[in-house]
Amino acid sequence: MTFIHQIRLDQQHDTRRYPFTLPVVQHLIRNPIELTKPVTFLVGDNGAGKSTLVEAIAVAAGFNAEGGSQSFRFATKATESSLGDHLTLRWGTRKPRTGFFLRAESFYNVATEIDRIGEGIHASYGGKSLHERSHGESFMDLIAHRFGGRGLYVLDEPEAALSVKGCLTVLRHMKELVDEGSQFIIATHSPILLAARDAAILEITDGAIDEVPYDAAEPVALTRNFLSEPDRFLRHLLD
């Protein structure tokens, strides 16, 4: 079961300007994204548009563009695109009880806003300021303490601050939350996170969005090939 069933782009937009000139957005005009599984991954090379798309999904779902819950309304510097204003989300009859948008690059600003709010809010984030922990620890505390069952969670490259063990810990928390009726939409480069059960992997290549199996996803295939023959890869890169 999912809260958001479909993502599509409305027709009232200027296709001559960014972000509507991105090939992935052009694909979205013709082909809505169907969300049929509790975990949906967006993968693709740098510049493919996955972070732009996941940010727009978060904004269209009512989350603050820099991250946080739907009640966060702070703004440090507006860098988000206008894509979220033109996405239409088709919701099911089941509504999320809670939710959060984790955007790795602006999580510092979210932590600062949590400190500003104060008023006992730290109890929901591990009991103390997120600034008093390492970047990776604050991510894991967020997921362990703030995320709850029947939630909608939109994550942009959560592995950015995580060790391999940290990614494995997040996998466990995700499984528990999915079992409790949660939905995840995640942009990632992590072959570890991509191993989540009950997941659809949508790969963005050449402006198209196609579902691929785990073994065929580029982060998985490239990492596996590199680890099997690192010397060959290094010779090719360096010589």
DSSP string, 116-146: HH-TTGGGGGTSS-GGGS-HHHHHHHIIIII
Q: Compute the distance between CA of residue 74 and CA of residue 68 in angstroms, rounded to an integer.
A: 9
| DSSP code at position 43 | E
How does 186-197 read in b/e, with b if 16+ C-beta sit within 10 Å? bbbbbbbbbebe
**Which residue range forms the structural domain that includes residue 95?**
4-214
Mean pLDDT, the chain, rounded, equals: 88
β-pair type (39-44, 183-187): parallel
The confidence score (pLDDT) of residue 41 equals 98
Q: Compute the distance between CA of residue 109 and CA of residue 104 in angstroms, rounded to an integer.
A: 10
Per-residue model confidence as pLDDT tens digits over 53-110: 999 999 999 998 888 877 776 666 665 678 888 899 999 999 999 999 998 877 777 7
The confidence score (pLDDT) of residue 69 equals 77
Asked if residue 119 belongs to a domain, the reply is yes
Asked if residue 228 belongs to a domain, the reply is no
Q: CATH no. for residue 14?
A: 3.40.50
Token output for 9:
């782009």
Number of structural domains found in the chain = 1
Token output for 112:
């600062």
Asked if residue 71 belongs to a domain, the reply is yes
Asked if residue 84 belongs to a domain, the reply is yes
Question: In tens digits, what is the pLDDT along the chain, a chain of 239 residues?
Answer: 799 999 998 877 666 778 887 778 878 888 999 999 999 999 999 888 898 899 999 999 999 888 887 777 666 666 567 888 889 999 999 999 999 999 887 777 777 777 777 766 776 677 777 777 887 888 888 899 899 999 999 999 999 989 999 999 999 999 999 999 999 999 999 999 999 998 999 999 887 899 999 999 999 999 999 999 999 988 888 87
Asked if residue 235 belongs to a domain, the reply is no
Asked if residue 20 belongs to a domain, the reply is yes
Question: Bridge partners of 152?
Answer: 99, 183
